[in-house]
A = this chain, B = another copy of it.
Amino acid sequence: MSYRASDLADILEGKLEGDPEVIISGVAKIEDARPGDATFLANPRYERFLGSTQASLVIVSSEQKTGVSTVIRVADPYRAFAHLLELFYPPESPPAAGVHPSASIGTDVTFGEGVCIGAQVVIGEASTLGDNVILYPGVVIGNRVIIGEKTVIRAGVSIRSGVQIGRKVVIQDNVVIGSEGFGFTPGDEGDYEKVPQVGTVIIEDEVEIGAGCTIDRATLGATRIEKGVKLDNLIQVAHNVVIGANTVIAAQSGISGSTTIGRHCIIGGQVGFVGHVTLGDGSLVGAKSGISKSHPPGSKVSGTLAKPHGEEMRIQASLKKLPELIKRVDRLEKEINHLQSQLLENPPLSKKSE
C-alpha cells in the first residue's frame, strides 16, 4: 500500500507543504523513520529528532517550525497519525466466523449474525450475543449475560452471570467482570461473614477495558461504567462504583466501593479512591493520588492525601526546603536567646532614666 503525499493531505484534511508527489509506503516513529515513511510530531520532547529524521513526510501542527521538506499541517497531529495507522495497518483478523468446535455453549444462547467465537470459549445458559461480537479463545461467559453488537472480548476474560455489556466495547485479555466484591460483616468470633453480592455490572457502549482489570458486581443494583469510559490495565473497580461517561483512568488505579466518579474526568495511574465519595465531572487527578473525600466538579487534585494541585505543588516545593528550615529555626532560637540574655543582662535604661 502506498500513497502520494497529496493524497494523504486530502485524507487527513491537512495542508500540504512541499512535494505533493512524494510516495509514502509506511509509518514510523520520528526517531525510527526511513525514506518512504510518514511520521508525526505531537510531543515537544521529540522536536530534537526533527533535524535528523529520515522520514519523507512529517505531520505537524499548524504552528510547528520544521525545516523538513515535506509536511502536512493539521490541527491534531496525533489524531491524524492514528488515522494513518488505520490506513496502513488493517486490523488483525479475528477468530473464524461461527462457533469453534471446541467451544462449550450452554442452552438457550442467542447469537447475532457474524459472531466469531474462538477455541475453548465457554458460554453459560441463556446468554445473548449481538451481531458481529468477537470472543477470542478461552473467554468464559456466565449465564444470562448480554453482549451488544461489535463488542470484542480478548483471550482469558471472565464475564460473570448477569453482566450486561454494550455495543462496540473492547475488553482486553484476562479481565474479570462481575466477580463478587469485598463485602464482609464482622461475625461473633472475630471472623467475617460474607455479604451476598447479588447485583450486577453494566458496561455501556464504546467502553474500553485494559488487560487484567477487575470489576466487581454490585452488592445490590449495578456497578456501572458509562459510555466511552477508557480504563487502562490492572485497574480495580469495586462493588457499586459508578464511572461517568468519557472518563479515562490510567493503569493500576483502584476505586473502592460505592464511590462515584463523574464524567470527562482524567485520572492518573496508581490512584486510590476510598469508598462512598464523589469526584465531580471534569476533574483531573494526578498520578499516585489518594482520594479520601469528595471533590466538586472541575477539581484538579494531587498528592497522597489529595489536595488542590496548586497547594500540593507548593507543599512539595516547600518540602525540599524543610531540612534547611529546621536549621534556620535552630539558629533563630539561638540568636533570640542571645538577644534576650543580652537585654536581660543590660536592659535598656530608658525606664530607669525616665
Contact = CB atoms under 8 A, between A and B. Distances in A.
A325 B172 CA distance: 49
A343 B332 contact: no
Nearest to A197: B85
- Greatest chain B CB density within 10 A among A32, A211, A248, A254 is at A211
B251 A182 contact: yes
B211 A216 contact: yes
Contact of A326 (B216, B321, B335, B342): B321
Interface string A263-277: 110000110101010
A172 B161 contact: no
A347 B346 CA distance: 9
A64 interface: no
Interface residues of A, number: 127
Contact of A185 (B76, B228, B315): B76
A238 interface: yes
Interface string A209-241: 011101010011100000010101110101010
22 contacts: A91-B196, A104-B119, A104-B120, A120-B140, A122-B138, A122-B155, A137-B140, A154-B160, A156-B156, A160-B173, A170-B194, A191-B228, A214-B234, A236-B269, A252-B272, A269-B272, A304-B304, A314-B323, A315-B323, A328-B333, A339-B343, A342-B343
